[in-house]
Structure 1
Amino acid sequence: MTLTRRKLSAALAAGIASTWGAGVAWAQSYPQKAVKLVVGSPPGGPSDFLARVLADSIGPGMGQNFIVENKPGASGMPAADQVVKGVADGHQLLISGPASIVVMPHMFSKITYDPMRELVPVTMLGAGAFVLVVHPSVKANNVKDLIALAKANPNQLTYGSGGNGSSGHLCTEYFNGLAGVKMTHIPYKGDGQAVVDLLAGQIQVMFTAPNVAMAHVKSGKLRLLAVTTKERVSSMPDIATVHEMGVKDFEYLGWIIVFAPAATPPAVVDQLSSAWLKVKNTPAIAQKLNELAMAAPERYSARPALQDFVKSEYVRLGKLIKDNNIKSEV
């Protein structure tokens, strides 16, 4: 069964009351009013969806409404700036993917905030695999074949992405570096345009989100080679990871994390983190995260581990951007 947000909300209403009744005692001082969840993308995308799941799931137990505010544009930087400059009391939080936190600070010279100094990660709502797909004309049935082909033909294979600094661009360049190959980048205005040319054979390779590619894989128009998580994806258990196919330690996640201003009281941050950890494994939420292939790795559940992960992503992608001279289109 596929859960829409409306069905999910109904399931949450039916099931989470018992979760909150299991002895969770919230400090009376927080929240004192509605909590705003600022999302740097339009309604309907993964960040927006998970923000609304968070709002529906923890609001009742914390005794206040959690309200989603969409502030799209400029790779999420205006949304991050709004939260950074807001009151650090936990009543305004940022829901963000990598772009505004660990990518644009290395690509955009006029950025108005320092994400490593002015924001702290609260909890990871989800983290998904990208898929590696090729046009059927490419003589590669697995990652090892693709690497051998690319090594024999440097810069002859072309790959598409949703633009300079996009997840698909950075993921592929990270793959190129670890695999020791060179492929030529063709940027597009979004993954949708790129996959059209991939289907036509104008480009040969693409790392993209499962929802972009899987219908074409099932119809035989694209060949699926691997997923980018270190562990296999539960909804695609037969598909190998890039890591297990010989590119040691390769992992590239499409993550969505809740951030708070750095000066937010630690007790408030801990409350918010505990609230999500308490509800994320309820059947309705767990089912939806698995359907979306967005279940976050358990190794990032503890806040110290999550903080280390965000810092390591900042360093890793900063080096990748610098080494490949990747420039912003913003």
Structure 2
Amino acid sequence: MGLAGLVSLGLSLPAQAQGGAWPDKPVRVLVPFPASGATDLVARVVTQRVSQELGQQFVVDNKPGAGGTIGAGEAAKAAADGYTLLLTTSSTHAISPHISKRLSYDARKDFTPIAHLADAPSVLLVTPGLPAKSVQELVAYAKAHPGELNYASSGNGTIVHLNTAAFSAQAGIKMTHVPYKGTAQSIPDLTAGQVQVLFDSLPTGMPHVKSGRLRALAVTSEQRSALAPELPTVAESGLPGYASVTWFGLYAPAGLPPALVQRINAAFTQAMRAPEVADNLARLGVEPARPGSAAQFAAMVQADSERWAGVVRQFNISID
């Protein structure tokens, strides 16, 4: 089945008897970003497979806004029974805690880490009307036209915001930040030239490049992406050491019993191993994470959180 079919496919497989074990009723999977964004696409590909394997509905519920923190906050208040899960990214758990003191949740205390699902680099996109066909040309244009370029993000303090802030600081340029509820909402303005620059996730950015609506300059991973091998990395384009990858992970509210953590981890890990899931994620520019325990996922997030804390301090980023 093609990607379009997967995205539009309803998760409506009939429930099967589970003998009282999880899941014996539909599971709500909160995605704190808009429909058609990278996190939403990953969630639908993966939960469709989990639904097939377990014979139960997994309903993706988009709750966007405030860089993902609205949906994350809602998930934190849900019952810790395995029937409300949060599929989220670096933004809500590794970045937002360092840039806002007004979060409605504590990223470490209010959630139970379950599984690291996948990773994806971002792609540096520009509007076609901008006379820049490389990172070097973009930097040169920005320096020659200080303050004239606008860059979009998926919200204040999101990884898209920080990616661009770090890029601008390292390149020595200044651009104006225009936050949106999600990068998908910024695409019409980007193609029209009202904003000129966007660090979008590879999954959602490349289709617009292939259609000719946008121009891609580089990817943010340490190595070139197999999805777009013709694109250089930002690091090899004149900004050595620049690298950033978005992780996708699964959480439950705090207090989920360990046995249920293991059960859900196993179900999603098994789904990630399915060839069709890997194939469809590859089309999105997403790489399945190596199978690991909930504890390993928590340790990875903590290390990533500490790294972003350093970036926030370096560039004095705050949304309060």
Fold match (TM-score > 0.5): yes
- Residue 188 of structure 1 deviates from its aligned partner by 4.8
Query: What is the TM-score when the length of structure 1 is the normalising length?
Result: 0.74
Tell me the CA shift for residue 80 of structure 1.
2.3
The higher radius of gyration belongs to: 1
1:40–1:80 contact (8 Å) kept in structure 2: yes
Aligned CA distance change for structure 1 residues 166 and 137 (closer, same or farther; 3 Å): same
Alignment of 1:272 with 2:264, yes or no, is yes
Matching residue's letter, 2:225: V
Deviation digits for residues 5-27 of structure 1, max 9, x if unmatched?
459979xx9xxxxxxxxxxxxx9
Relative to 1, partners in 2 of residues 1:172 and 1:91: Cα closer, same or farther, differing over 3 Å? same
Q: In the superposition, relative to structure 1, how do residues 82 and 30 fare at CA in structure 2: closer, same or farther (>3 Å)?
A: farther
**1:207 Cα deviation from its structure 2 partner:** 2.0
Which residue does the alignment assign to 2:299?
Answer: 308
Match of 2:125? Answer: 133
Task: Please give the alpha-carbon distance, in whole angstroms, between the structure 1 residues aligned to 2:134 and 2:127.
Answer: 12
User: Pick from 75, 96, 101: which aligns with 2:93?
Assistant: 101
Give yes or no for the alignment of 1:2 onto 2:31.
Answer: no
Could you say what secondary structure the match of 1:81 adopts? helix
> How far, CA to CA, are the matches of 2:69 and 2:7 in structure 1?
32
Aligned-residue identity in percent:
30
Question: What 5-or-longer segments of structure 2 have no aligned partner?
Answer: none
Amino acid at match of 2:106: D
After alignment, is 288-297 or 31-40 more displaced?
A: 31-40
Q: CA deviation at 1:316?
A: 3.2
Paired letter, 2:152: S
Deviation at 1:74, TM superposition (A): 3.9
1:28 Cα deviation from its structure 2 partner:
7.6
Of 212, 237, 252, 1:260 maps to 252
Distance 1:197 1:82 in 2: 30
Offset of residue 116 of structure 1: 1.7
Contact 2:7 2:45 in 1 (8 A): no
User: Are 1:228 and 2:220 matched, yes or no?
Assistant: yes
- Distance in 1 (CA, whole Å) between partners of 2:242 and 2:81 is 38
**Could you tell me the TM-score, scaled by structure 2's length?**
0.76
Match of 1:89 among 59, 68, 81: 81
Residue type matched to 1:79 in 2?
G
Distance in 2 of aligned mates of 1:326 and 1:89:
36
Tell me if structure 2 keeps the 8 A contact 1:161–1:187: yes
TM-superposed deviation, 1:31: 1.0
Aligned length: 311
| Corresponding residue of 2:199 | 207
C-alpha displacement of 1:111: 2.0
1:294 pairs with one of 286, 294, 299: 286
Post-superposition offset of 1:91: 2.9
Q: Could you say if the C-alpha distance between residues 262 and 248 of structure 1 is closer, same or farther in structure 2, counting changes exceeding 3 Å?
A: farther
Q: Secondary structure at the match of 2:287?
A: coil
Aligned-CA RMSD value: 3.8
Contact 1:157 1:205 in 2 (8 A): no
Answering whether residue 320 of structure 2 is matched by residue 320 of structure 1, we say no
CA contact (8 A) 1:122 1:258 kept: yes
Contact 1:154–1:181, Cα closer than 8 Å, also in 2:
no
CA 159–130 in structure 1, closer or farther in 2 if over 3 Å, else same = farther
Q: Which residue of 2 aligns with 1:49?
A: 41
Query: Which ranges of structure 1 fall in alignment gaps of 5 or more residues?
Result: 14-26
In structure 2, give the amino acid aligned to 1:285.
V
Could you say if the C-alpha distance between residues 74 and 8 of structure 1 is closer, same or farther in structure 2, counting changes exceeding 3 Å? closer
The answer (yes or no) to whether the contact 1:228–1:252 under 8 Å persists in 2 is yes
Greater shift after overlay, 61-70 or 105-114?
A: 61-70
Q: Aligned with 1:115: secondary structure?
A: coil
Q: Please say if residues 226 and 240 of structure 1, whose CA atoms lie closer than 8 Å, have aligned partners that are also in contact.
A: yes
1:322 to 1:185, Cα distance in 2 relative to 1, 3 A = farther
Contact conserved, 2:166 with 2:315, CA < 8 A, in 1? no
**Contact 1:169/1:185, CA 8 A, preserved across alignment:** no
Q: Is the 8 A contact 1:119 1:262 kept in 2?
A: yes
Q: Secondary structure at the match of 2:235?
A: coil
Decide whether the 8 Å contact of 1:107 with 1:326 is kept in 2: yes
Taking a change above 3 Å as real, the CA distance of residues 322 and 307 of structure 1, as seen in their structure-2 partners, is same
Return the alpha-carbon distance in structure 1 between the equivalents of residues 215 and 52 of structure 2.
44
Instruction: Give the match's secondary structure for 1:117.
Output: coil
Report deviation, 1:291. 1.0
Query: Does the alignment pair 1:80 with 2:76?
Result: no
Residue in structure 2 matched with residue 16 of structure 1 by the alignment: none
